[in-house]
Amino acid sequence: MPKTHDFDGAWKAILEAFEVEIVELLFPEIFNEIDWKLGTESLDMELKEIQKEIFDKYNGDKVISDKIIKVRLKDNGSKILFIHIEVQSYDSKKEIFGERMFRYFYRIWDKFRYKYDDKSEIVAAAIYTYKGSAGKDERYVYKLPEIEEEILRYNFRTIDVETINLENISDNNPLKLVFKMAKSLLETKSNDEDIYEAKVKLAEELAYYDKVKDNEQIKALVDFLEYLFLIQDPKLEKKYEEYKKEKGGALKMTIEEIRKVHYKQEGKEEEKIKIAKNFLDIADDETIAKKTGLDIDFVKQLRTQNK
């Protein structure tokens, strides 16, 4: 059976490992206004609920290359900012992608804007990873033909992998290598020989890459290369595996080892949620949040869902 690309899985790993770097790239003007010392919170469970509302209510898990990141600003009494990032790997055809981004926005608005006293803020961005200009919206405009003026205009940031100028990304930001890989895939012919050559060229740069903060990030980069550049020919695949062993460095790890390390944290979060559910009948929300490390608002949401 031929290998197939898992673009969602590839970009999910990148969004998880490079939260800070992706915000710096997409929203440079607010990056230094965020109080990074207070950490970030990934609202994966809340995102799944929103996806179920937007897509098939029974299939909220199928769209995974999205992210909602919760941070706090330095001023305004640690005001909360929600950052929504979506990766789009195909032309959505009849479905207007900009409208989907707006639907995410107003659901996040309804869910969080007035949940806290500070009237939390929301920004969003889309990353387009496919060829061509079709469906690559930068805004959503709603109007009626009978009314001359626009009723609503919603803007969001975008990055187009096909046209991105890599020189505009700092050499110290590892996302430069991420977008170099993604752009290279679009420029590489589909035959195995060209894929092999492109993969080896990128692997040379990746083997001892030193612009990352920790092992999780380098593993995510290796994972990304493996996900994107699929070699179908068994002989060429074997040749690449031999090259990795000889080259060493980060490339020595198998894709299974990479996934095991990368998703270990996700397993820990699931275990925390399981423990929290077991304590709903015998402890209050504050105690459960303290003992599990989960956000108290998420614990409250669990209690509501399990009534």
pLDDT tens-place string over residues 69-90? 999 998 766 789 999 999 998 8
CA distances, 127 to each of 34, 36, 97, 190 (Å): 22, 23, 12, 22
Comparison of pLDDT for 289 and 117, the residue scoring more = 289
Whether residue 257 has pLDDT greater than 60: no
- Tell me the average pLDDT of the chain: 85
What distance in Å separates the CA atoms of residue 65 and residue 53, rounded to the nearest whole number?
17
pLDDT band for position 254 (cuts 50, 70, 90): very low
Which residues make Cβ contacts (< 8 Å) with residue 231, sequence separation at least 6? 3, 192, 195, 196, 199, 237, 240
Helix, strand or coil, per DSSP, at residue 154: strand
228 burial (CB, 10 Å; 0-12 / 13-18 / 19+) is buried
At residue 297, does pLDDT exceed 50? yes
What pLDDT score does 160 carry?
97
Distance CA(68)–CA(66), nearest Å, equals 7
Alpha-carbon separation of residue 265 from 123, 214, 232, 262, 268 (angstroms): 26, 14, 31, 7, 5
Bin 76: left if φ > 0, else alpha if -120 < ψ < 50, else beta. Answer: left
Q: What does the domain layout of the chain look like in residue ranges? A: 19-168
Residue 293: φ, ψ to 5°: 85, 5
Does the pLDDT at position 262 exceed 50?
no
* pLDDT over 60 at 59, yes or no: no
Mean pLDDT of 34-39: 91
Query: Any idea what the Cα angle at residue 121 is, between residues 115 and 126, rounded to 5°?
Result: 120
Per the CB < 8 A criterion, the answer to whether 28 and 16 are in contact is no
pLDDT value at position 250?
Answer: 59
